[in-house]
């Protein structure tokens, strides 16, 4: 799966909590820089997205592709060539956030 930074996956301690969201970005729209303190997996339902880390590494994912997202690394996604829809799965634990925005504590 694309877009891993070579780190190992570590699951948080505590009562397991698996959640998911369906994310839609309009053409050219991008998320703020954020990170995931838990294992996070994404599947592109439609469209194309560019994912870029704060240090400039980037990858492009298209419809039908999946990825294990980077952990504890700030990154953002941007819809390219039209809208994009992604389903994101979080393998977390009760009380631990799935996503932390840049500037907040947690990554």
Per-residue pLDDT tens digits for 20-43: 999 999 999 999 999 999 999 999
pLDDT-derived band at 6 (thresholds 50, 70, 90) equals low
If pLDDT is split at 50, 70 and 90, which confidence band does 7 have? Answer: low
Q: Which of 69, 58, 59 is nearest to 23 (CA)?
A: 69
Residues 6+ apart with CB under 8 A from 25: 31, 47, 49, 77, 78, 79, 83, 84
- Say yes or no to pLDDT of 5 above 90: no
Hey, what domains does the chain have and what are their CATH numbers?
16-101 (2.60.120.10)
Confidence grade of residue 106 (pLDDT, cut at 50, 70, 90):
confident
């Amino acid at each position: 799966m694309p877009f891993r930074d070579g780190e190992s996956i570590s699951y948080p301690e505590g009562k397991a909590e698996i959640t998911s969201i369906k994310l839609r970005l309009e053409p050219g729209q991008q998320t703020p820089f954020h990170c995931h303190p838990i294992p996070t997996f994404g599947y592109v339902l439609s469209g194309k997205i560019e994912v870029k880390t704060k240090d400039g590494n980037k990858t492009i994912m298209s419809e039908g592709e999946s990825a294990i997202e980077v952990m504890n690394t700030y990154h953002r996604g941007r819809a390219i060539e039209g809208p994009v829809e992604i389903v994101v799965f979080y393998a977390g634990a009760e009380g631990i956030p799935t996503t932390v925005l840049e500037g907040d504590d947690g990554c």
